[in-house]
Structure 1
């Protein structure tokens, strides 16, 4: 088991933040791992610093960051100037650039139908991210099937709004769940 997989096992609830209000809430929470799903080239450094000051492990979703291309130079900028723990992207080349710079990578894939499932698996095999975030996270059957096809830890994200949703995703084989539902941020691992 990799260090990152152990980190997910110890912290199965990942906070996903979409605005400054979420940032304030998550800083007051016991959540350890945070997915940043907003920001711009002008604000991301301060968002990252605020989270780090509050002892959070930060992953920035580059596809949602305004004003910065996710090309090689953009990734170099993120690494050198922002320095998060890792990045999230749906784009394989973005993951490759980040991995080449020693950053942890999470590939976000959408399981909408058989074609997207097959394409997602092929992409994971091609770009070898450190983890895979599958959406929607409430699709237990897709999580279970994906777990048979890849070796990376699975993080279930999207539409997880209740403890029941979180438990179903974890029971299907996800190592963790990511949620913007702040009510779930305070659940202890033992209560899941």
Structure 2
């Protein structure tokens, strides 16, 4: 398996957003190699990461939504030791801790207006994540080129429902898109 997230996304820029365990079977046979797992209880987290790892999937854990998983150093170390490659969070301090633990970091930001955009930029400047998950994806074309260049590599997410919307996000500067729609996980894209 390619351990470099950028190389994985260059091969296939669609990230599987897996909520719970219902989509695991589909994820294991998917063309996509990168997944963000969320809404998985702590007791099931390690077995899910192991299963996905055996299928050569690059696993990123959304720490904000896994029940029983603390966002302190112990929780982050648990994710790192479980075989996950990365961590996703909205929280600045969590992203900073994850970077120190050697995980690839992705910070989620929600852009609803200019004021949330400016607060998000400030948080990203402090946390310095490896990637940013920008929500909702339709906001991406509304950002100026200068604004997009201030961001780390962008993963567009939310309201991506078809191949055209994937292509639009990629054309407007996204490195990848993430989607929970399993029909999009196998979309063949050539760049």
TM-score normalised according to structure 2 size: 0.92
Indicate conservation of the 8 Å contact 2:141/2:169, yes or no: no
Equivalent residue, structure 1, for 2:84: 84
Indicate conservation of the 8 Å contact 2:162/2:184, yes or no: yes
Bigger mean CA deviation after superposition, 101-110 or 67-76:
67-76
* In 2, Cα distance between equivalents of 1:105 and 1:142: 25
Indicate conservation of the 8 Å contact 1:143/1:156, yes or no: no
**Consecutive unaligned residues in structure 1, runs of 5 or more:** none
Q: Residue 166 of structure 1: CA displacement? A: 0.7
Indicate conservation of the 8 Å contact 1:143/1:174, yes or no: no
* In 2, Cα distance between equivalents of 1:143 and 1:45: 38
1:181-192 counterparts in 2 under 5 A?
181-190=181-190
Equivalent residue, structure 2, for 1:60: 61
- The 3 A distance-change label for structure 1 pair 143 and 108 is farther
Indicate conservation of the 8 Å contact 2:92/2:127, yes or no: yes
Equivalent residue, structure 2, for 1:177: 177
RMSD: 1.5
Q: Residue 177 of structure 1: CA displacement? A: 0.4
* In 1, Cα distance between equivalents of 2:187 and 2:167: 11
Indicate conservation of the 8 Å contact 2:50/2:83, yes or no: no
After TM superposition, which residue ranges in structure 1, 4 or more long, deviate above 3 angstroms?
A: 142-146
Indicate conservation of the 8 Å contact 2:21/2:40, yes or no: no
Indicate conservation of the 8 Å contact 1:95/1:107, yes or no: yes
Indicate conservation of the 8 Å contact 1:144/1:173, yes or no: no
Indicate conservation of the 8 Å contact 1:134/1:143, yes or no: no
**Consecutive unaligned residues in structure 2, runs of 5 or more:** none
Q: Residue 144 of structure 1: CA displacement? A: 4.9
Helix, strand or coil for the counterpart of 1:21?
coil
Tell me, yes or no, if structure 1 residue 101 matches structure 2 residue 101. yes
